[in-house]
């Protein structure tokens, strides 16, 4: 079967590879789930892997099949699989356990080992192919009622984890009711995080570069947030107007913005960093001022990456509620389809050059 692959660490190596079709029996203990791939989304991670910035092939291969945002239909299940059956729509988690205590309790998303195993990213083949098989533990059921949101399951799991981790960590305060939140960045993670927070009744300001009108602004505002162009007002001036935010979720992809956010967070607030910055950017900062404010204000900085099975389910619940509260908005994120795995060059071109493409995804097969 066909697959879109790269040679990790070799810039612009995207190509079509050939793999044998996986079998249910590849997974031990009758726990295999064989999935026919319908759609796969791509994001900045895929772009940076193709640029050679990171990523590693599985042992024994010189290529890596990309694609970590999966959506498909179950074709067959092993005898010990209970929660999905043939015909069900599913997505799949990305990270696989290593050996740490966190990996052993189903929390590979917070592994304490340096090496992490992620399908389509590091040391494991991804989903940008015709079929995949995996242990039932990693297969997430997607209700038919939201199958039109398909490849958003994975990015939504990342957004849902970031928000859930903030609330979890803020239990340190005994009482914490965030009123104002900033979401920096209005890519898929920024917009999905905006939704998660709006569903929790928070006043949200979604901040990105492009001035209005634009699609990102339209989506953020249809979720009931206020969209702010960072070209028109600085974070500091915005905070003077809105009051300092109790929570900031940072998802711009800019490490400089990530640090800039430290200057506006409210007392007792939490700042969550989600941007994966593969570069080597440097800057100078008012470190005495920030340090003083953070100590005197009991502020929290939290990094959040990846998502496990439970975060996928939280994200799916939020997408379902999102469709009830803000019907038809989520699917506006799915801007840019490409038809067929043969179009791998076009996938990368759109990811790299098309600034209007909020979400590029591949229609791999019909049901």
| Binding partner selected for residue 118 from ligand BGC, Zn ion, none, CB under the kind-specific 5 to 8 Å limit | ligand BGC
Min CB(273)–Zn ion separation in Å: 15
Q: To the nearest whole angstrom, how small is the minimum distance from the Cβ of residue 54 to Zn ion?
A: 13
**Least Å distance between CB 69 and ligand BGC?**
7
DSSP string, 3-49: EEEE-TTSTT--EEEE-PPP-GGGSSTT-EEEEEEEEEEE-HHHHHH
By beta-carbon proximity to ligand BGC, the closer residue of 119 and 198 is 119
The whole-angstrom separation of Cα 129 and Cα 194 is 31
Rule CB under 5 A: say whether 43 interacts with Zn ion. Answer: yes
Residue 210 contact partner, candidates Zn ion, ligand BGC, none, CB within 5 to 8 A by sort of partner: none
318 binds Zn ion (CB under 5 A): no
Looking at the DSSP bridge assignments, the partners of residue 182 are: 205, 248
- Which residue lies nearer to ligand BGC by CB, 230 or 306? 306
- Binding footprint of ligand BGC on the chain (CB under 6 A): 43, 45, 68, 94-95, 118, 121, 154, 158, 276, 305-306
Q: Rounded to an integer, what distance in angstroms lies between the CA atom of residue 244 and that of residue 235?
A: 10
Instruction: Please say which residue, 24 or 44, places its beta carbon nearer to Zn ion.
Output: 44
Q: Report strand pairing: 69-77 vs 89-92.
A: antiparallel
Give the shortest CB-284-to-Zn ion separation in angstroms: 31
Minimum distance of ligand BGC from residue 103's CB (angstroms):
14
Considering beta carbons, is residue 87 or 99 the nearer one to ligand BGC? 99
Count of residues binding Zn ion (CB under 5 A)? 2
* CB-side neighbour CA atoms (13 Å) of 183: 30
Residue 272 bridge partners (DSSP) = 249, 302
Of 27, 32, 33, 45, the residue at the interface with Zn ion (CB under 5 A) is 45
List the single partner that 108 binds among Zn ion, ligand BGC, none, CB under 5 to 8 Å by kind: none
Q: Quick one: 114 exposed, middle or buried, by C-beta within 10 A (0-12, 13-18, 19+)?
A: exposed
CA atoms within 13 A on the CB side of 194: 32
Q: What's the token pair of residue 361?
A: 């995804």
The answer to the question of residue 50 lying near Zn ion (CB under 5 A) is no
Cβ at position 43, least distance to Zn ion in Å: 4
The pairing of beta strand 117-119 with beta strand 89-92: unpaired
Residue 231's CB: how many other CB atoms inside 10 A? Answer: 10
Q: Which is nearer to Zn ion, 45 or 275 (CB)?
A: 45
Residue 276, contacted partner among Zn ion, ligand BGC, none, CB below 5-8 A by kind: ligand BGC
Sheet holding 123-124, edge to edge: 95-96, 117-119, 123-124
Which of ligand BGC, Zn ion, none sits in contact with 121, Cβ below 5 to 8 A by type? ligand BGC
Shortest approach of Zn ion to residue 35 CB, angstroms? 19
Q: How far is 173 from 331, CA to CA, in rounded Å? A: 36
Q: Contact positions toward Zn ion, by CB under 5 A?
A: 43, 45
């Amino acid at each position: 079967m066909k697959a879109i692959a790269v040679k990790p660490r070799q810039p612009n190596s995207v190509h079509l590879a050939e793999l044998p079709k996986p079998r249910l029996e590849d997974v031990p203990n009758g726990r295999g789930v064989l999935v026919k791939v319908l759609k796969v989304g791509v994001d900045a991670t895929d772009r940076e892997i193709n640029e050679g910035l990171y990523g590693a092939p599985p042992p024994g291969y010189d290529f890596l099949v990309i694609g970590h945002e999966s959506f498909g239909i179950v074709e067959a299940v092993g005898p010990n699989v209970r929660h999905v059956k043939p015909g069900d729509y599913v997505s799949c988690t990305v990270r696989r356990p290593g050996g740490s205590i966190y990996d052993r309790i189903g929390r590979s998303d917070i592994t304490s080992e340096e090496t992490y195993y992620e399908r389509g990213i590091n040391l494991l083949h991804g989903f940008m192919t015709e079929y995949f098989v995996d242990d039932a533990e990693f297969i997430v059921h997607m209700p038919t009622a939201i199958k039109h949101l398909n490849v958003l399951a994975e990015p939504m799991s990342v957004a849902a984890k970031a928000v859930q981790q903030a609330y979890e960590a803020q239990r340190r305060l005994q009482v914490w009711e965030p009123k104002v939140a900033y979401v920096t960045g209005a890519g898929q993670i920024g917009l999905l995080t905006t939704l998660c927070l709006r569903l929790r009744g928070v006043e949200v300001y979604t901040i990105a570069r492009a001035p209005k009108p634009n699609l990102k602004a339209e989506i953020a505002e249809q979720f009931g947030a206020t969209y702010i162009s960072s070209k028109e007002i600085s974070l500091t001036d915005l905070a003077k107007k809105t009051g300092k935010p109790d929570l900031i979720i940072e998802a711009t992809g800019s490490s400089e913005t990530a640090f800039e956010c430290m200057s506006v967070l409210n007392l007792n607030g939490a700042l969550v960093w989600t941007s994966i910055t593969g570069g080597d950017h440097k800057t100078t900062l008012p470190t005495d001022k920030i340090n003083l404010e953070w100590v005197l204000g009991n502020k929290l900085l939290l990094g959040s990456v990846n998502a496990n099975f439970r975060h996928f389910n939280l994200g799916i619940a939020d997408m379902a509620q999102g469709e009830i509260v803000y019907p038809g908005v989520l699917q506006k994120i799915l801007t840019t389809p490409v038809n067929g795995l043969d179009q791998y060059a076009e996938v990368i071109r759109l990811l790299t050059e098309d600034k209007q493409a909020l979400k590029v995804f591949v229609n791999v097969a019909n049901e």
